[in-house]
Structure 1
Amino acid sequence: MEIQPNKEKLIELAHYKMPFGKFKGSYLVNLPEPYLVWFKNKGFPQGKLGTMLQTMYEIKINGLEPLIHKIQKDYPAVR
């Protein structure tokens, strides 16, 4: 089985911002890893935000942030 990344989902993830709290307005990729670890331990929120945070947690623990920064650069957010 070959895994194919979903381009649109990755672009959306690259431009998704934290909607509340201390890091409100920050791109998820710029959240500190300990903050994502806290969510991992306490439980990610339900819905889209939780999915995005969980995905970013996996990206960060695997050192793949440069991929997200490249996507941000190559596919600017549409305003």
Structure 2
Amino acid sequence: MNTEDLRKLVTRTMPFGKYEGRLIADLPGHYLNWFARAGFPKGEIGRLLALMQEIDHNGLSPLLDPLRVD
């Protein structure tokens, strides 16, 4: 993980699926957990989803608030 990945969580949107268009940082925990069980996609999106799942699972989502763009 690099620091730019944290910024991407609050600026990049989900490119496919039920939550297409929603910020990765705003994806529901149950959806992120499903990916953790089923397998994350390959590439950058998979890496970001895995990072967000870890942050959400550990209750650290509020740490992303200062990075959010208004």
Asked if TM exceeds 0.5, the reply is yes
- The equivalent residue for 2:48 is 52
Structure 1 gaps of 5+ residues are: none
Question: What is the root-mean-square deviation in Å for CA atoms of aligned residues?
Answer: 1.7
1:17-76 CA deviation, whole Å, 9 max, x = no partner? 10011101101111110111110000000000000000000000111111112210xxx2
How many matched pairs? 70
Could you tell me the percent identity over the aligned residues?
A: 43
| CA radius of gyration, larger in | 1
- The equivalent residue for 2:6 is 10
Structure 2 gaps of 5+ residues are: none
User: TM (normalized to structure 1)?
Assistant: 0.78
1:34 and 2:30 aligned: yes
